[in-house]
Chains A and B, each alone.
Chain A
Amino acid sequence: GDSVTQMEGPVTLSEEAFLTINCTYTATGYPSLFWYVQYPGEGLQLLLKATKADDKGSNKGFEATYRKETTSFHLEKGSVQVSDSAVYFCALSEGGGSNYKLTFGKGTLLTVNP
């Protein structure tokens, strides 16, 4: 079955540092890939997505590129802020054939210190 593996946390960075959170996947078809973010006490929000190989998703300074050859979708940001402190989830969907179900990684807690 499908699975998503993302780097174990927690990750602690200083403000303005470079962020990378690794995500790799296994899937039977051609999934769409997502990064969701969860701020303390809240539900998940979509951060960015990519629907086909070589697509780059970007939002709020974060970006991730869908790499089919390495089955990866690593999240990056050039300069993190304290407000980026949250839990980040990588996820995939095989679409309508699987009723748009999402398969999630276990999440990575990011803490950014001033």
Chain B
Amino acid sequence: DAGITQSPRHKVTETGTPVTLRCHQTENHRYMYWYRQDPGHGLRLIHYSYGVKDTDKGEVSDGYSVSRSKTEDFLLTLESATSSQTSVYFCATASAGNYEQYFGPGTRLTVT
């Protein structure tokens, strides 16, 4: 399995506060992705990265920003958390030429 860790694994925060989730990989994969998982919606792509400093929006990017300053780390930031952002967040990675994505263990975020 690809070495993918996410931190924190659980977080409770208040509406209006900023939150940053971290994804760290040890596989030197070029591509990284952030998803959210909600009942009835499956997994939806928030943002993704196709290289250091190269990022793009997914289907549910409003209210989120990302940064990737080095290959191994991909940060997801909620500038001002809202209750609608309560979800489980998954990071995934992929290497060029290999269609498979490898997933981290997830972060459960609760916004009160």
Contacts and interface: CB of A to CB of B under 8 A. Distances in A.
Nearest to A31: B99
Contacts of A46: 100-102
A66 B97 CA distance: 20
A27 interface: no
The 3 A-B pairs with the shortest beta carbon distances in the complex, nearest first, are A43-B103, A106-B42, A44-B103
A34 B56 CA distance: 23
Given A44-B90, A101-B33, A101-B48, A95 B99 contact: yes
A107 B39 CA distance: 9
Contacts, number: 56
Contacts of B58: 101
Interface residues of B, number: 26
B16 interface: no
A101 B45 contact: yes
A32 B97 CA distance: 12
Interface in B82-104: 90, 92, 94, 96-104
B43 A89 contact: yes
Contacts of A102: 33, 43, 45, 92, 101
Contact of B50 (A32, A34, A45, A99): A99
Contacts of B42: 89, 104-107
Interface in A32-68: 32, 34, 36, 42-46, 49, 51
B6 to A, nearest CB: 9
B31 A100 contact: yes
B100 A99 contact: no
Nearest to B41: A106
Contact of A42 (B48, B92, B105): B105
Contacts of A114: none
A29 interface: no
A109 to B, nearest CB: 10
Nearest to B40: A106
A100 B41 contact: no
Interface in B19-63: 31, 33, 40-45, 48, 50, 56, 58
